[in-house]
């Protein structure tokens, strides 16, 4: 899984801002019971991106998408697969 610093570096390179608040929000439940690394099902999907858009705007939503794609790739997801829509779809895709 990319680290917080790696996520911030990626968004700084792509968007000229680190978007720390977005990365912290997406990974808020990482390592916490009962989720552990299975926290991604909670916010790492299109519905999560829409929540980010409402909270922080369009560029933040782009930062969220970059974060989620980096994490999905760690789970074996490829860009020719559907992007998870929400928590149920994320789980149905066999992602954690």
Domain ranges of the chain: 4-92
Mention every residue, 6+ apart, whose C-beta is less than 8 A from residue 45.
Answer: 68, 83, 84, 85, 86, 87, 89, 90
Q: What is the pTM of this model?
A: 0.94
- What pLDDT, on a 0 to 100 scale, did the predictor assign at position 87? 94
Q: Is pLDDT above 80 for 1?
A: no
Per-residue pLDDT averaged across 45-62, rounded? 98
Tell me the pLDDT of the chain averaged across its residues: 95
3-state DSSP helix/strand/coil percent for the chain, to nearest 5?
A: 65, 0, 35
């Amino acid at each position: 899984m990319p680290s917080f610093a790696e996520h911030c570096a990626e968004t700084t390179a792509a968007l000229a801002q680190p978007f720390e608040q977005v990365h912290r929000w997406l990974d808020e439940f990482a390592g916490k019971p009962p989720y552990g690394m299975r926290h991604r099902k909670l916010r790492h999907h299109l519905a999560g991106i829409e929540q980010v858009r409402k909270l922080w705007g369009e560029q933040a939503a782009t930062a969220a998408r970059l974060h989620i794609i980096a994490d999905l790739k760690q789970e074996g997801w490829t860009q020719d697969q559907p992007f998870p829509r929400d928590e149920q779809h994320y789980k149905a895709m066999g992602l954690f």
